[in-house]
Amino acid sequence: MSLRETIILALRTVRSNWLRAILTLMIIAFGIMALVGILTAIDVGINSLSSNLSSLGANTFNIEPKGEGVRGNQGGRREKRGEPITYDQAMEFKARYDFPARTSISLRCSGIATIKRGSEKTNPNIPLYGADENYLESRGYELLAGRNFTSLEAVRGGAIAVVGKEIVDELFNGREDKALGQFIGAGNIKLKVVGVLKSKGSGMGDNADRQVIIPLQLAKRYYGSARTNYNLIVAVDDATQIDIGADFATGLFRNVRGLQAKQANDFEITKSNSLIGLIRENTTYFRWAAVGIGLITLVGAAIGLMNIMLVSVTERTREIGITKALGAKSSTIRTQFLTEAVAISLIGGIVGIALGVMAGNIVAVISGGSFLFPWVWVTIAIVTCTLVGLVSGLYPAVKASQLDPIESLRYE
């Protein structure tokens, strides 16, 4: 009997016991779904974040108080937080940083603002930011219509605003030309719309199209306090000089913060191109957890599959005797049972892969990212399922191949 005939016979046997096979392969499917689904979700999230950070360019870095970023909690220990960056410190740094670069200062005023125009208003979930004239460029935003703030407007605090595309869609029927020059209300502030941002989409819970940006000084007047932290983003002119620019910024900001030579930095600098590496490093535990969950489920599935194959050997003892009496070799019997076990395992793996990819890409739908097919994890899943089938089917296959044909023919 050829290998092709052996495989066809094995698949026909699996189909004849379809209910038992389905119950077994679904255990394998859920194990693979957990493995592929979680790993795919992690990769989708990282890719979405990478896409968002790439819009900032490889030439930017952030300055923030120590303990605010992803480095703030390592090994279960939370670092002591640095003091907030004050308005005066941010302005002094911007004025004194004479490296070939542009420095942006901003603050988050509110994440639950309601924007009004006459009787119309948005839901109370609009992020409101205060920023200077360099903010749009440092964040990778482009204008669809209108203009940006001038440096004079940023420091004097004019009652003007640049709005996201969704704000225009809700309050101005999607017409950016109609929005320009019109007045909107944000809390107690009356603002004149001078610019509309080009649609950028959302990512990692942040919707760039659903925001309002006002001049920095105006934001400080209405939302600033002694404990307000001002965000600093530096975009160097030459991306190859980012390390030098970051080192120069470190020395200058230590001076701005009044740190002594023996004192450690109470702030940290995060480069846009290094943040992804930190995220990947911090998701390692999630990956191992996903592998652990999947393997535990697959061990249970392997035990169940071996039990099913042993029952199958007992039920088909007479069939095995007839097959041997007709001249089938022990190797043929062994191959047939191994093929059945691998077939059940692989079918379960394919079902699990399909469910896992769909489950993992739900993150892409939520974050506005692109669909990801995880070829690496799919390959690992297929290899794992093949190994599970071989390990689970080996003992039953050997047992079936060693049955005595005469005794098997007498079996009832």
Please give the pLDDT value at position 55. Answer: 54
Distance CA 337, CA 400 (A): 8
Please give the pLDDT value at position 16. Answer: 72
376 has a pLDDT exceeding 80: yes
Please give the pLDDT value at position 10. Answer: 67
204 has a pLDDT exceeding 50: no
| pLDDT tens-digit map of 293-308 | 777 878 887 888 888 8
CA distances from 360 to 34, 165, 290 (A): 9, 29, 12
Close Cβ partners of 248 (under 8 Å, ≥ 6 residues apart) = 97, 99
Distance CA 202, CA 231 (A): 21
| pLDDT tens-digit map of 264-289 | 999 999 876 655 566 666 677 777 87
- Averaged confidence pLDDT in the chain: 83
Kind of pairing between the strands at 115-117 and 183-186: antiparallel
Cα dihedral 378→382→383→388 (10° resolution)? 130
CA distances from 400 to 20, 50, 276, 322 (A): 19, 54, 53, 13
Please give the pLDDT value at position 327. Answer: 79
What DSSP designation does 397 have?
H
| pLDDT tens-digit map of 141-180 | 899 999 999 999 998 888 999 999 999 999 999 889 999 9
Please give the pLDDT value at position 297. Answer: 77
| pLDDT tens-digit map of 24-82 | 788 888 888 888 888 888 777 777 665 555 555 567 889 999 876 555 455 545 567 78
Please give the pLDDT value at position 312. Answer: 80
Residue 338 confidence class, pLDDT cut points 50, 70, 90: confident
Please give the pLDDT value at position 4. Answer: 72
Distance CA 222, CA 19 (A): 68
Which one is predicted more confidently, 101 or 25? 101
Q: In this prediction, what percent of the chain has a pLDDT beyond 70?
A: 86
Per DSSP, helices labelled H in 17-125 are 18-54, 87-96
